[in-house]
Amino acid sequence: MTLQQTQTDAACLVRPYGDTLDDGVVQFSFTLPLPHDELACEAARAVGEAMGLHEVSVSCSRDLGQGFSFFVLYGKMTTSVDVSRLTVNKAEFETMKKEAVDRFIQEHFGRKLVFVGACIETDAHTVGIDAIMNMKGYNGHKGLESYHEIQAVNLGAQVGSDEFVAKALELNADALLVSQIVTQKNVHLANLTRLVDMLEAEGVRDKLVLVVGGPRISHELAKELGYDAGFGPNTYAEDVASFVVQEMKRRERS
Amino acid sequence: MTLQQTQTDAACLVRPYGDTLDDGVVQFSFTLPLPHDELACEAARAVGEAMGLHEVSVSCSRDLGQGFSFFVLYGKMTTSVDVSRLTVNKAEFETMKKEAVDRFIQEHFGRKLVFVGACIETDAHTVGIDAIMNMKGYNGHKGLESYHEIQAVNLGAQVGSDEFVAKALELNADALLVSQIVTQKNVHLANLTRLVDMLEAEGVRDKLVLVVGGPRISHELAKELGYDAGFGPNTYAEDVASFVVQEMKRRERS
Amino acid sequence: MTQLIIDQALVDKARGSAQNIARQVKQAVDGMTTVTIERASLRLLGIDGVDAQGAPMVNIVVEHLLAQDLLGQGAVTPVVAAMERRGMTAQEVASAVACGALVLTKPDGNREAIKNKALQLAGEACRKISANRRQREEMIQRLGKGSAPQLYLIVATGNIYEDIKQATAAAHQGADIIAVIRTTGQSLLDYVPYGATTEGFGGTYATQENFRLMRRALDAAGEAVGRYIYLTNYCSGLCMPEIAVMGALERLDMMLNDSMYGIIFRDINMRRTFLDQFFSRRVNAYAGIIINTGEDNYLTTADAYEQAHTVLASQLINEQFALMSGLKAERIGLGHAFEINPDSEDGFLWEIAHAQLIRQVFPQAPLKYMPPTKYMTGNIFKGQVQNTLFNAASVMTGQTIHLLGMMTEAIHTPLLQDRYLALENARYVFHTMRHLADEIEFKPTGRIQARANEVLAQTVQMLAEIEQIGLMEAIRRKMFAEISRQPDGGKGVAGVINKNDDYYNPFPDLMQGGASDDTATNSN
Amino acid sequence: MTQLIIDQALVDKARGSAQNIARQVKQAVDGMTTVTIERASLRLLGIDGVDAQGAPMVNIVVEHLLAQDLLGQGAVTPVVAAMERRGMTAQEVASAVACGALVLTKPDGNREAIKNKALQLAGEACRKISANRRQREEMIQRLGKGSAPQLYLIVATGNIYEDIKQATAAAHQGADIIAVIRTTGQSLLDYVPYGATTEGFGGTYATQENFRLMRRALDAAGEAVGRYIYLTNYCSGLCMPEIAVMGALERLDMMLNDSMYGIIFRDINMRRTFLDQFFSRRVNAYAGIIINTGEDNYLTTADAYEQAHTVLASQLINEQFALMSGLKAERIGLGHAFEINPDSEDGFLWEIAHAQLIRQVFPQAPLKYMPPTKYMTGNIFKGQVQNTLFNAASVMTGQTIHLLGMMTEAIHTPLLQDRYLALENARYVFHTMRHLADEIEFKPTGRIQARANEVLAQTVQMLAEIEQIGLMEAIRRKMFAEISRQPDGGKGVAGVINKNDDYYNPFPDLMQGGASDDTATNSN
Ligand code: B12
Ligand code: B12
Ligand SMILES: Cc1ncc(COP(=O)(O)O)c(C=O)c1O
Ligand SMILES: Cc1ncc(COP(=O)(O)O)c(C=O)c1O
């Protein structure tokens, strides 16, 4: 799969907008490990300047105790970002409606596809994977269980990678849907890597479409970790279903 | 007057603190003049990167309409600020209590000093200058009118520089206290410069102690504009009185 | 609506005092006019534009009349006489005066004929204003408008074109009312600047062209969002009557317009202010404009708890002045503010007591509730919290015109994002608390009830005292906002002119009682 | 306190059903014990520490007993028998078992003598716990504590030393209660990690050493700020009884401790959970610990409006389980949450109705009120607003334990500044609204009253149904949090052991009814 590129020809420079084009106004806040005094305020301003901002002003400073101080600042960015040189990294597919997905499966595969999902390792946040898989769905978008041509098996929370892989083999899964919500200390990276390694060890990685989702998951990250796609906030069942079926078709062709 | 320098010998590197020393976490927010889509989010992230932040993540993006989008981001600063190289710019004086100021005047000048204050030009925010000059004072700190050895004349709001200078000459003022609250489009810079120019044209600039105050006034700025001192938020009458009398004494000596 | 138990006899007593106070003032200034009333009248006759030096034509003509010692009879008749005599339009008369080609004189011909002509011309002006009023009503009928508390937002970039961008975005985000803040210092100009402007400080010049540009933009935004967007400006300062006329001609919907604000906060001469407010309110009444009074400002210099009664007393006086000018109760947007000290225990209770008391003393008024400003700090996160409680107080006490609080109040005039976040805050609070006011009652033996009684009693007493000493003396004695002004001092005093016996101005009478087809109760 | 009119007969009916439900469960599991109850008992006897591989001694001993098929009589007697036989301390027995030097056997000697010895040793353990309880009471007497709603803050860095820094700063900023969040995954470990730890994810390991370090730091902070700072942890998961013991020994003050949370949210076996909660609550009761139940969690998966009655029903069940274990009403901190959809019109009214209903159904309970989490977004500015309304709801309905909402809830575990801003928010709201609850009444014919009646009626019905089908079947039918669990499924099922006839454990009886010198009503 290639990345979708959003590129225009001419440079298109933008800069933050406060109340006038290109004034560059940015609000920021942070804590410094310094006792609350004038020097700390100076240091806060210096942080703003180190970020390349001009006219940095400390609009609020507070003593947090224990040698910490909190600051709210405003400053002006004088450099610009060239939007024409930016790319948006996202999985390449067309979102189809539920009915269209079912029809697509009938036409191209002529059998029910098996999707196995789980919130793996220590993560117990099932609301996201449930939103994708369970009948009820999310925000009025039905979940995968409601798709006639998909057998959706949701293993739920805190499923060990070993257990997950075993279940995938047992069910002859076409796609694995992994959810990772907790990202503290990058625990998701370890968990996700562990799963891929295990699938590769079992020699099944390429037989499956492997996707991951979560509020702090991007497609870019997913690809880096060896997944076929990553889905962030506001994903619905039809998005991931569309991706999986189109990806399967793409693979058949090649 | 020289600048007070706060310097320690060894380098003292600090960086914002989220929940772990040196994690560098900074919160920031701004608006971009871009319609709300994935490219705009990419641009927002790029703004964060242009400020030298790492692990920039867009935690919120909202459509403001009219081709504008709003973003809240978190990122990590990887460079540091060397606190040992920072200086705090402030007027050099010791704050004395009201009684001590009165005694200081009796001892050193043997006459009542005349302080004339005003909120000059288009600025009508009198609360600040009143807080300094009027009997009542501010936050329990009595104003200059309550000082026995000071004749405090508060001209109030929207006083033209010409009128102000005339009054100063008429009253034989020792110190002029200027207040500037409105800073929109840097109107205060124009106003403050105009006053200094006028005082110089009249040849009286050096005969007076000239100070300015306001919530967005710093000592550094005041000095740049040709004032003897600048006072920011949380200033009380005793601060400015102490500065004026000590400055007058300093000048007598030299 | 939540109810406090309020002694109506006390309210009536206070209102009676206020009526007497206003009448005394009216009598004291009845024999005078002001330069800006005369300029406003000339604007109504159709004089507009500026000379090469930027001086408005109406100023040139009025100064010319002053120089000829003719202003005591009013500016209208000399100009109409010249129009008749020369067969010129009012604008042509002004141009001729400006270039020195014409010297206006005391009309010598048939005074009655000139008066009739003036009356006819004035009638045309009134019809234009009526048409605007009807157009507003029709648009509201068709598009609807925001439900109370209506969301009132300011734009203040200093540049009318940036203002328009921001106002349009705000309307799309949910604003019901847009106020274009005026540049610092304009209130003390004794003329109205001209044309589209881009150079204000902390606000944009109030000019007729700026009014027109913003009106057009908001009409378009209103059509797009399916809600009539109200436009507000400042009918205040040394040119109050002229701005009333400009607003009436350009279909503004609301005006900050107070009977004492200029005296207290801008040190404008008392008589001048009382005369100007009377004339401008008559125009506003005729144009179907909702006025917003400025009592909220008192609490930026005085303490909201200590001085709560001065707000109510002033509102009762403002109400009487407004009624006298012909404004209907439904268009008198009395102002107050959530300026209670956030550090005071039970401060929210005192605020609720006050807001609810005002709500009940003025049941028909579209109350204007101002957000916290004085106690806002550079801590924008705390600011969001302060504004949330303000929003809650507003919906709990049924306020009408709700000025949105900005989390950056202590830092800068609103950024685009500040306005968005303020709207989001208010919309959420109003929606999630929509019927809270219907649900709660205040304990009859409680602190809120006791506080409301106390404020009302203090108000009755204060007004009784002012009834004795007169309003001008009361102001001299710092009874409002803790600021003292001298009856004969203040800016613009030179612009107060004694009327001659032959003074004539068709507008006040023509506009008396508002337009006959006005439907105040339906339209706001 | 504001009052809803509530039909006490309905409340009594619901409570009666809940009592029967809890009794049925108790009967169903009465003949069983669990590995962690036995390990907890050994901890009380003084066994601590880990082997070279990091396996806790108590696990080693209990597994050893399991392997010998001796656990059915309880872990206490075999160990005490060995102590007597060998003249060893409990710890020495454990070490000997661990290195294979000792094989525990069915006590052969005088069973009564061994029981007496066990009882004596258990009495010593109880005295230690009593001493902690008294120390807490004395410190509160001397230092005072935060006034309700008490400000409850979490630390969750994963590193106990960072946690301590942040907790100390929070105490200085105004926190009354500090909860150390537990690392993800610990609840499913069938052992308790050991020592000071620095490597948690989204929380810090609950270990006895971490408890001790934080207790010491908070005692110091409490002295500095002149207010006893409560320490909270999670008495939950597969090691619930052991954590209860650790908390009792290290003078924790509060514990998240629920009779069903583990089943529903961690898929822990039902019988295991019911047994463990019973034992651990008896320890908590004895130690004077306030428990916090977990009904708030239901609303993170189910809708707060639709499922409000499931929260109340579960609280009534949790209450009965707690009372049965000996917890006093004053120490049953029933949990609920401000998870009403911010987009729903009048959502705040429904939230108030629910919070006030709970307040009145459990007048003595130190209610734990959780902040919005589910509807928090990455928009931190809106988050401040949501938290402000939560704070307002809390003070308006007299909640007791107030968990502070973080504006960054949807983003990360709290930064130092997030906690400061949350505290500032709550302190301001509580102070400015301090007596609002005393001031307002809800209209008897209003929406809030109607909503409360509706929720109560639904609760009565739900509990009547559960009384018929039994709690385990109710959980199977997804009646709580819309999650279904199988009575015989779930984690830790292998750790449920049938008691033999000669089962003996001195602790439950010794701790029954709490300590004789306990002064529940004064101390919290
Ligand atoms: C509900 C909740 C819980 C519930 C979970 C109940 C359940 N059965 O899921 C309970 C109370 C049990 C809980 C516990 C904990 N939680 Co929690 N929780 C939340 C909360 C409030 C909401 C999450 C949620 O349900 N979102 C709604 C769903 C629909 O959104 P979503 O998950 O993003 O899913 C969407 C997309 O991401 C995507 N998606 C998600 N998965 C997948 C998978 C695939 C294949 C695809 C295609 C798409 C997809 O599609 C979904 C629909 O659009 C968040 C805070 C917040 N407001 O976000 C904290 C939060 C996620 N929790 C957090 C933490 C730390 C914990 C604990 C670890 C705390 C502790 N130490 O005890 C515990 C332990 C849980 C564990 N072991 O994992 C942190 C995570 C911080 C971080 N950045 O790592 C958060 C952010 C709160 C915080 N600020 O501290 N939590
Ligand atoms: C009260 C107020 C008003 C009142 C003023 C009443 C009065 N008589 O002063 C009224 C309602 C009239 C008003 C009007 C306007 N205001 Co105003 N107002 C404020 C407000 C709410 C509080 C200011 C205040 O009183 N602070 C309290 C005093 C005690 O603090 P302070 O001034 O900082 O003074 C202290 C120090 O700075 C220092 N200090 C100050 N002066 C001096 C002088 C000396 C010699 C010394 C030693 C020290 C010193 O000591 C003082 C005590 O510690 C601020 C918002 C805010 N919360 O800050 C906006 C604010 C200052 N106003 C603002 C604006 C734009 C206006 C208007 C121009 C809007 C308009 N276009 O109509 C008008 C016009 C006024 C004009 N022509 O200047 C902006 C300024 C933005 C900017 N950065 O430039 C602000 C920040 C609001 C906003 N966000 O838009 N305002
Ligand atoms: C009635 C009234 N007029 C005018 C203003 C604005 O100030 P300025 O006098 O600078 O136009 C206000 C400010 O709030 C006001 O309330
Ligand atoms: C009773 C109870 N136990 C435990 C927890 C924490 O979760 P975990 O099971 O991961 O320890 C909660 C969460 O809020 C809870 O309410």
Per-residue pLDDT tens digits for C29-41: 999 999 999 999 9
- pLDDT above 60: residue C140: yes
Mean pLDDT of chain B: 93
Please compute the mean of the pLDDT values over residues D222-247 and round it to a whole number.
98
Please compute the mean of the pLDDT values over residues C126-133 and round it to a whole number.
97
- Claim to verify: residue C383 and residue C425 sit in the same structural domain: yes
Alpha helices in C55-110 (DSSP H): 57-67, 76-86, 90-98
**Number of C-beta neighbours around residue D103 at 10 A:** 11
- pLDDT above 90: residue B165: yes
Output the CA torsion C452→C455→C460→C462 (10° steps): -170
State pLDDT tens for residues D376-387.
Answer: 999 999 999 999
Please compute the mean of the pLDDT values over residues A150-172 and round it to a whole number.
95
Task: Extract the tokens encoding A222.
Answer: 């997913």
Give the C-alpha separation, C14 to C315, whole Å. Answer: 11
Please compute the mean of the pLDDT values over residues D126-146 and round it to a whole number.
97
Residue C185 — pLDDT band, cuts 50, 70, 90? confident
Residue burial B21-41, b: 16+ Cβ < 10 Å; e: rest: ebebbbbbbbbbbbebeebbb
Say if residue C53 is exposed, middle or buried (CB neighbours under 10 Å; 0-12, 13-18, 19+). exposed
Q: What percent of chain C has pLDDT over 90?
A: 92
pLDDT at D88: 96
Annotated catalytic residue, options D163, D253, D276, D296: D296
State pLDDT tens for residues A3-57.
Answer: 344 444 578 999 999 998 999 999 999 999 999 999 999 999 999 999 999 999 9
- Claim to verify: residue D231 and residue D337 sit in the same structural domain: yes
Which of D434, D439, D446 is nearest residue C439 as measured by Cβ atoms? D446
Would C24 be classed as within a structural domain?
no
Half-sphere exposure of D73 (CA within 13 A, CB side): 19
Q: Roughly how many angstroms between the first and final C-alpha of chain A, as a whole number?
A: 11
Please compute the mean of the pLDDT values over residues B49-63 and round it to a whole number.
96
Among A230, A190, A233, smallest CA distance to D410 is for A233
Q: Residue D442 carries which DSSP code? A: E
- pLDDT above 70: residue D416: yes
Say if residue C493 is exposed, middle or buried (CB neighbours under 10 Å; 0-12, 13-18, 19+). middle
- Claim to verify: residue C112 and residue C212 sit in the same structural domain: no
Q: Which of the listed residues C122, C156, C179 is the one where a domain comes to its end?
A: C122
- Claim to verify: residue D117 and residue D223 sit in the same structural domain: no
- pLDDT above 80: residue B97: yes
Q: Which is more confidently placed, D315 or A140?
A: D315
pLDDT at A5: 43
Give the C-alpha separation, D280 to D326, whole Å. Answer: 11
Q: Roughly how many angstroms between the first and final C-alpha of chain B, as a whole number?
A: 11
Whether B136 sits among the annotated catalytic residues: the reply is yes
Give the C-alpha separation, C2 to C442, whole Å. Answer: 8
Among D209, B17, C452, D132, smallest CA distance to A66 is for B17
Please compute the mean of the pLDDT values over residues A150-173 and round it to a whole number.
95
Q: What residues form DSSP beta bridges with C524?
A: none
Q: Which of the listed residues C407, C438, C469 is the one where a domain comes to its end?
A: C438
Q: What residues form DSSP beta bridges with B30?
A: B71
- Claim to verify: residue C273 and residue C375 sit in the same structural domain: yes
| CATH architecture observed for domain B2-84 | 2-Layer Sandwich (3.30)
Write down the CATH superfamily of domain B98-253: Cobalamin-binding domain (3.40.50.280)
pLDDT at D520: 58
Please compute the mean of the pLDDT values over residues C271-300 and round it to a whole number.
97
Among C74, C52, B48, smallest CA distance to C61 is for C74
- pLDDT above 60: residue D1: no
The secondary element (H helix, E strand) that includes residue B70 is strand B68-77
Chains adjacent to B (≥3 CB pairs closer than 8 angstroms): A, C, D
Please compute the mean of the pLDDT values over residues C66-78 and round it to a whole number.
96
State pLDDT tens for residues D280-299.
Answer: 999 999 999 999 999 999 99
Q: What percent of chain C has pLDDT over 70?
A: 98
pLDDT at C202: 83
Please compute the mean of the pLDDT values over residues C261-280 and round it to a whole number.
96
pLDDT at C493: 97
Asked if C407 reaches chain D (Cβ–Cβ under 8 Å), the answer is: yes
- pLDDT above 60: residue C251: yes
- Claim to verify: residue C118 and residue C155 sit in the same structural domain: no
Would C93 be classed as within a structural domain?
yes
Which residue has tokens 């994977």? Answer: A129
Specify the pTM. 0.95
Q: Work out how many domains chain C is built from and give that number.
A: 2
- Claim to verify: residue C350 and residue C421 sit in the same structural domain: yes
Please compute the mean of the pLDDT values over residues D160-179 and round it to a whole number.
95
A128–chain C nearest CA distance, Å: 25
Say if residue C330 is exposed, middle or buried (CB neighbours under 10 Å; 0-12, 13-18, 19+). middle
**Chain A residues inside the 8 Å CB shell of B43:** 14, 81, 83, 86
- Chain B residues whose C-beta is within 8 A of a chain D C-beta are 17-20, 25, 27, 29, 58-60, 62, 72, 74
- Claim to verify: residue C158 and residue C280 sit in the same structural domain: yes
Domain that holds residue D307: 144-438
Residue D36 — pLDDT band, cuts 50, 70, 90? very high
Which residue has tokens 């300062």? Answer: C237
Task: Extract the tokens encoding C521.
Answer: 């109760």
- Cβ-contact D11, D453 below 8 angstroms: no
Q: What percent of chain A has pLDDT over 70?
A: 96
**Chain D residues inside the 8 Å CB shell of A215:** 410
Would D15 be classed as within a structural domain?
no
Would C413 be classed as within a structural domain?
yes
Whether D176 sits among the annotated catalytic residues: the reply is no
pLDDT at C13: 98
Would D102 be classed as within a structural domain?
yes
pLDDT at C380: 98
Please compute the mean of the pLDDT values over residues C256-269 and round it to a whole number.
96
pLDDT at D107: 78
Would C519 be classed as within a structural domain?
no
- Claim to verify: residue D226 and residue D319 sit in the same structural domain: yes
Give the C-alpha separation, D383 to C8, whole Å. Answer: 43
Q: Which of the listed residues C438, C457, C478 is the one where a domain comes to its end?
A: C438
Residue A90 — pLDDT band, cuts 50, 70, 90? confident
Which of A19, A58, A72 is nearest residue C166 as measured by Cβ atoms? A19
CA of D521 to the centre of ligand 2 (A): 52
Please compute the mean of the pLDDT values over residues D152-162 and round it to a whole number.
93
Residue B184 — pLDDT band, cuts 50, 70, 90? confident
Would C235 be classed as within a structural domain?
yes
- Claim to verify: residue C162 and residue C253 sit in the same structural domain: yes
- pLDDT above 90: residue C486: yes
pLDDT at D523: 40
- pLDDT above 50: residue D165: yes
Do A62 and C415 lie within an 8 Å CB cutoff?
A: no
- pLDDT above 60: residue A218: yes
DSSP-based three-state secondary structure for B181: coil
Do C168 and B184 lie within an 8 Å CB cutoff?
A: no
CA of D258 to the centre of ligand 4 (A): 9
- Claim to verify: residue C235 and residue C322 sit in the same structural domain: yes
Q: Residue B121 carries which DSSP code? A: T
Chain B residue with minimum CA distance to A64: B17
Would C467 be classed as within a structural domain?
no
pLDDT at B8: 47
- pLDDT above 90: residue B10: no
- pLDDT above 60: residue C521: no
Distance set, CA A139 to CA A142, A236, A237, B63 (Å): 8, 9, 11, 20
State pLDDT tens for residues D435-483.
Answer: 999 999 999 999 999 999 999 999 999 999 999 999 999 999 999 998 8
CA of A126 to the centre of ligand 1 (A): 7
Residue B197 — pLDDT band, cuts 50, 70, 90? very high
Cβ neighbours of residue B33 closer than 8 Å, sequence gap 6 or more? A14, A17, A21, B67, B68
Mean pLDDT of chain C: 95
Residue B9 — pLDDT band, cuts 50, 70, 90? low
- Claim to verify: residue D176 and residue D48 sit in the same structural domain: no
Residue C1 — pLDDT band, cuts 50, 70, 90? low
pLDDT at A9: 58
